[in-house]
Amino acid sequence: MEYITLNNSVEMPILGYGTYQTPSRITEQCVADALRVGYRSIDTAQCYGNEHEVGIACRKSGIPRSELFITTKLWACHGYQNALRSIDSSLKKIGMDYIDLLLIHEPTGNVHEIYRAMETAYKDGKLRAIGISNFLDNRYLDLVNHCKVIPAVNQVETHVFRQQKKLRQLECQIGTKHESWSPLACGQNDIFKNNLLLEIAGNHGKSVAQIALRFLLQQGIVVIPKSIHIERMKENFAALDFDLEADEMREMEQLEIGKSLFD
């Protein structure tokens, strides 16, 4: 596993396992499979409804807690006290003494007060790192200008068709790591039939998914691909074991379309 170092010196795996839209009835098995493959970072959220199952799978795995990196996200919070209660609720559902990374899921509600609650929980040792999700340039800057703890991570739609270069440059200047949700674009825009990606995949003897993931990983972007199939989990994990050529990276940069695939 490769790691990135967050702005508070916490190390985070650069490749994680996502659980978005994974039904709670199969989450425990899927996370258990991912852990067996070698994943150590698991991404969940309050609104996914599977925090409890993620926690069960992690505890049953026998892997030391110190080797796991658990991310979850606050949802539908409205202020400071509400957010504090919501953090404690996630800790209880996951069944752990601390969460490695807590994010505000999206910029709704009183984000300054919600983030202030996260800062309190961070100082109390309940959270190892705090950050945000779906905060684009203006909302990101607004929060940065009002917070005491700079967000460690910003998790945003990022893939070969939506590369977020401007936002990533801004985050780099301030000290926030960029994390991609939907690194394979959820299969949209015919990503798996793209001629350039197919050509590069053929050159390396890899799949299009591995090429698309490697493009992000090679730029230091954290990725959390999701699959319920263990063979796909293994395939995605293998994106760590090769490098793309500089000219291939430049060619893939031209796939940017300048807009979200998910509105």
Residues with catalytic annotation?
A: 48
Q: Tokens 């493009």 — which residue? A: 215
Is 120 within 8 Å of 154 (Cβ atoms)?
A: no
Q: Would you tell me how many other CB atoms lie within 10 Å of the CB of residue 53? A: 25
Angle, alpha carbons 236-240-245 (nearest 5°): 110
Which residues make beta-bridge pairs with 73? 103
Is 160 within 8 Å of 191 (Cβ atoms)?
A: yes
Is 151 within 8 Å of 143 (Cβ atoms)?
A: yes
